[in-house]
Amino acid sequence: MTDPILKTEDLRMVYHVGTVEVFALRGVDIQIQTGEFVAIVGPSGCGKSTLLHLLGGLARPTYGRIFVDGVEISAAADADRTRIRRERIGFVFQRFNLLPTLTVKGNLEIACQIQGNGRPSSERVAAVLDTVGLSHKAIMKPLDLSAGEQQRVAIARALINAPAIVLADEPTGNLDSVNSTMILNLFRELNQRTGQTIMMITHNPEAAAVGHRIIEMRDGRVVSHGIVPHLVTGAGT
């Protein structure tokens, strides 16, 4: 087996609220292989989002090691961690965080420029929008789109720089069941067609079952992990 694209060793995170220590992560060890679609599940406050933020280089752990594609980002300087995040990771959040004054195309272009890659070619923008089924919405603005369409734009924004990893934090949390299914099917298609590595945080068991593997967290620890049942039994797709 090849080296994992994401790996943690004894990952711990402690926050201080006044004089009180809050343990968000208590020794998390996970490995995610290139091309896997992994769901992290668990109740609110179990450490799921903290884990995602640390894996994405948005914060430093209190203790432990994080490797992204073989590079230890937990020990990297801020500038190096930022570079790795820009080059290797795309983010999708529950809130779409689109710029309302820009068109769909403009949101993708500015995301590329912010990440230091200059203005993307029209062909690249068109290809990414086609991937998420929004080629016909390129010149529209976010507030003229449905919630599901806005989340698809957010996914396109995460993909514009062709990241090795997509980290998604409750990507269906603000969507109804129809749009949730559409977004989950899009993630599954991306993973199956392009081998995109995806780690998705969710509290929804049905959403988690779309991936290959489920890691369950509770009280800052990994308490179980396993292959999604339909992949074992051969039922479903």
CA–CA gap between residue 170 and residue 203 (Å, rounded): 8
CA–CA gap between residue 19 and residue 93 (Å, rounded): 31
CA–CA gap between residue 2 and residue 109 (Å, rounded): 34
Q: Is 1 inside a domain boundary?
A: no
Q: Is 18 inside a domain boundary?
A: yes
Residue 118 CB neighbour total at 10 angstroms: 9
Q: Which domain holds residue 111?
A: 6-233
Q: Is 208 inside a domain boundary?
A: yes
CA distances from 229 to 33, 88, 206, 212 (A): 19, 30, 12, 9
CATH number at residue 124: 3.40.50.300
Q: Using an 8 Å Cβ cutoff, are 51 and 25 in contact?
A: yes
Question: What is the structure's pLDDT at 236?
Answer: 41
pTM, entire model: 0.90
First-to-last C-alpha distance (Å) of the chain: 24
Q: Is 20 inside a domain boundary?
A: yes
Q: Is 56 inside a domain boundary?
A: yes
- Which phi-psi region, left, alpha or beta, contains residue 47 (left: φ > 0; alpha: ψ -120 to 50)? left
Q: Using an 8 Å Cβ cutoff, are 106 and 74 in contact?
A: no
What are the start-end ranges of the E strands in the chain? Answer: 6-17, 20-28, 31-32, 37-41, 63-68, 71-72, 89-92, 165-169, 197-201, 213-218, 221-227
Q: Is 154 inside a domain boundary?
A: yes
pLDDT in tens, the chain (237 residues): 578 999 999 999 999 888 899 999 999 999 999 999 999 999 988 999 999 999 999 999 999 999 999 999 998 899 999 889 888 999 999 888 899 999 999 999 988 887 666 677 788 899 999 999 999 999 999 999 999 999 999 999 999 888 999 999 999 988 999 999 999 999 999 999 888 999 999 988 889 999 999 999 999 999 988 887 655 444 343
From the list 195, 222, 223, 216, the residue with the least C-alpha distance to 33 is 195
Work out how many domains the chain is built from and give that number: 1
Q: Is 144 inside a domain boundary?
A: yes
Q: Is 67 inside a domain boundary?
A: yes
